[in-house]
Amino acid sequence: MKIISIRKKTIFKASAILLFTMIICIFTNSFGMQHYYKVDFSTGLVTATTLNVRSGPGTNYGIVATVKKNEYIRVFAGVGDWYIVQVEGDYVGAVNKKYVKAIYPNSSNSNNSSNNNSSSNSNSTITAMTTDEKEVFDLINNQRTQNGLSALKLDTETLRENVYVDGEYKENLQYIKRNGTKYYTDGTKVFSIMSGKSVVQESGITVAEIQNNNNAKEYYKEAKDIENFINQYLSDITTNDIVDIETGKKYANGESPYYTINGKIFDFDNIESSTSNFNTHRIDVIKNSIERNLSIAISNFNNYSNASTDFQLPKLKDTDWDKIMDNISIISFMQGINIGGKVYNGYSIITNTINQDIVMDDSIYIEDNNTNTFHRITEENLNLNNVTGIYNVNLERRSSEDSASKTVYYFPVYGVLSYDSIVTQNKIAKDANQSINDYVSGLNTNLQKAYYTALGRERYGLYRQKLIINPS
C-alpha cells in the first residue's frame, strides 16, 4: 500500500485497523516496549528539505528511506518525539515529528452524526462510504484476510487548484466538481466562487467529500448500471425495431434513414470503437436530426421570403460532420450571393475544442508529476508512470478582481505544456488517428488509469441530475 503525493494524485487507503495493528506489532518487536499513542490525523506533510525515515524512533536507528519537502506521508501513531509512518515504496519507519505537518484529521474527530458506529481508527475514505457499502467492503476484506490475501483499497483522489477569491490569492485549495460547479475547501468550510466572491455552502458538499473525491468511481459505477439495464431490456434492439417518430409505426424495409448497420445496436464488446454499431447508429441519428430540422427551416424560409433564390441544404463533408459530432459547433450558411456570373452557396463551421460544458476524449492531458509537465495522451513514445490526468480547461489562464476592482490574472495549476505534443503537436504518435480508446488500451497501466480516472471524474462532475431507471 502506497501513499503518493496528494497534489492531484490518487491516495490509496485501506482498512486502518488491521494495518495499524500489524505495524504496532512489528515496531514493538523491533523497538522493545515503548509507549505508543494515537494521533488525531492520518496524513502528514514533510516540511524538511530531506527527511530520513529510520527503522526506529531515534537517530541511532538506520535509515530505510528518505522523503522530500512537500511530500505526503501516512501517519499511524506517535512514539515520543517521533511518528510511525508509511512512505512511497511501501517503507514503514519512524520520522522526527517536528518535520511533519498534520494535514487530514481522522474520521473519529469528525462531527458527522450519520456514522456514529464507525471505528475510531477508520480513515476518512472509509467513512465516506455508505453504511451498506462499508459493511460489504469490510466483509470482503475479512474473507481476504482469512485466506491470506491483502486487503482491498479504496481509490479516491484529492484535487487542488489555485484560486483568486475575495480579493486574495490562495494556493492549492482542495476541490470537487458537481453539477458543473467547483466546490473548494480550506479544510474547515466549503464554498463555491461566483464573480470572484466566495459563496459558503451550509449543506450539501462536505469537506470529507472534497478530500476524498470519488467522482470517477461513481461515473463508472453508474455506467455499469446503465450497461446492466441495457443488457436486460434493450440487448436485442436492432434497426428493424425503429419506428417513425410522428406516426409511431415501424418503417418498411429500406425506408428508414438508419439502416446503415447490421445486427444489434448495443454491442458492448466493441462499443467504444468509432466504428461500432452503437456509435455508427448514434451518428446516423444526430445527422438525420440536424439535416431534417435544417431542411424544414430552409423550406419555411423559401415559402415566406421574397428571395428569388431557392435555398437548399448543402451537402456537408464527412470531415465537417466529424467536427459537428465531436465538439460544440456553430454552422453558418451563406447562399444566394451574386459573385460575377455565379451565385455563392456555401457554409462554415466554427467549433469550440476547449469548453467547460462537454468533456471530449481528447480533453484530458497527462501530467508528469516528477516534472510538472503536461502532455497529450497521444504524444509519441509517452511512457510515464508517476502521472495524473487533468482536464485541459483547468490549464487555461483565469481572471478575477482584487480588492480595488482591478483585473488580476492567474493560473489554476502550475506546470509546463509539452512543446512537442501540445504547443506544436509535431510529436503525435503515428497510430493516434485511431479511436482514442483503442489507442489508450495500448499504453502502460498507469497512463490508462490516469486517463480514464480523469475522463470519468470530469464527466461525472458535469452531471446536472441523476437519471433513475425504474422500468415497470
Report the 3 state secondary structure along the chain. CCCCCCCCEEEEECCHHHHHHHHHHHHHHHHCCCCCECCCEEEEEECCCEEEEECCCCCCCCEEEEEECCCEEEEEEEECCEEEEEECCCEEEEEEHHHEEEEEECHHHCCCHHHCCCCCCCCHHHHCCCHHHHHHHHHHHHHHHHCCCCCCCEEEEEEEEEEEECCEEEEEEEEEEECCEEEEECCCCEEEEECCEEEECCCCCCHHHHHCECHHHHHHHHHHHHHHHHHHHCCCCEHHHCECCCCCCECCCCCCCCCCCCCECCCCCCCCCCCCHHHHHHHHHHHHHHHHHHHHHHHHHHHHCCCCCCCCCCCCCHHHHHHHHHCEEEEEEEEEEEECCEEEEEEEEEEECCCCCCCCHHHEEEEECCCCEEEECCECCCCCCCEEEEEHHHHCCEEEECCCCCEEEECCCCCEECHHHHHCCCCECCCCCCCHHHHHCCCCHHHHHHHHHHHHHHHHCCCCCCCCCCCC
Q: Which amino acid is at 134?
A: K
Among 313, 330, 348, the domain boundary falls at 313
> Is 232 within a domain?
no
> Is 416 within a domain?
yes
Whose CA is closest to 213, among 365, 360, 10?
A: 10
- Which pairing describes strands 364-368 and 387-391: parallel, antiparallel, or unpaired? antiparallel
> Is 348 within a domain?
no
Question: b/e map of 331-353 (b: 16 or more CB within 10 Å)?
Answer: beeebeeeeeeeeeeeeebeeee
Among 146, 175, 196, the domain boundary falls at 146
> 168 and 122, same structural domain?
no
> 114 and 15, same structural domain?
yes
Q: How far is CA 87 from the centre of its chain?
A: 25
> 372 and 448, same structural domain?
yes
DSSP-assigned beta bridge partners for residue 334:
346
> 285 and 386, same structural domain?
no
State which residues form the domain around 118. Answer: 9-146
Whose CA is closest to 457, among 221, 269, 226, 274?
A: 221
C-alpha cell at 263: 445486427
Q: How far is CA 443 from the centre of its chain?
A: 18
> 440 and 396, same structural domain?
yes
> 109 and 165, same structural domain?
no
Between helix 318-326 and helix 277-304 the angle, nearest 10°, is 100
> 19 and 132, same structural domain?
yes
Rounded CA gap, 407 and 19, in Å? Answer: 51
Long-range contacts of 123-131 (CB under 8 A, 24+ apart): 123/13, 123/16, 123/42, 124/42, 124/208, 124/211, 124/212, 125/11, 125/13, 125/154, 125/156, 125/212, 126/13, 126/15, 126/16, 126/154, 127/208, 128/156, 128/208, 128/209, 128/212, 128/214, 129/154
Q: How far is CA 299 from the centre of its chain?
A: 44
> Is 223 within a domain?
no
> Is 151 within a domain?
no
Other beta carbons within 10 Å of 23: 17
Residues in the chain: 472
Residue with cell 504547443: 423
> 399 and 285, same structural domain?
no
Rounded CA gap, 88 and 111, in Å? Answer: 31
C-alpha cell at 98: 517536528
> Is 468 within a domain?
no
Q: Which amino acid is at 274?
A: S
> Is 431 within a domain?
yes
Whose CA is closest to 421, among 432, 411, 413?
A: 432
pLDDT in tens, the chain (472 residues): 333 333 333 333 333 334 444 444 445 444 444 567 888 877 888 888 889 998 888 888 888 888 988 888 888 888 889 998 888 777 888 999 999 988 755 433 333 333 322 222 223 333 345 555 555 566 666 766 776 666 665 567 889 999 999 988 999 999 999 888 999 998 889 999 998 899 998 878 889 889 888 899 888 888 888 888 888 888 888 888 888 777 888 877 667 777 777 788 888 777 777 778 888 888 888 888 888 888 888 888 888 777 677 777 778 887 888 777 767 788 887 777 777 777 777 788 888 766 666 788 888 999 999 999 999 999 999 999 899 999 998 888 888 887 778 888 989 998 899 999 998 888 998 887 777 888 888 899 999 999 999 999 999 998 755 444 444 4
> 166 and 134, same structural domain?
no
Q: What is the pLDDT of residue 135?
A: 59
> 138 and 73, same structural domain?
yes
Among 146, 171, 198, the domain boundary falls at 146
> Which residues make Cβ contacts (< 8 Å) with residue 159, sequence separation at least 6?
8, 174, 175, 176, 213
> Is 355 within a domain?
no
Half-sphere exposure (Cβ direction) of 352: Cα atoms closer than 13 Å: 10
Q: How many domains does the chain have?
A: 4
Residue with cell 512514539: 79
> 179 and 92, same structural domain?
no
> 199 and 168, same structural domain?
yes
The whole-model pTM stands at 0.60
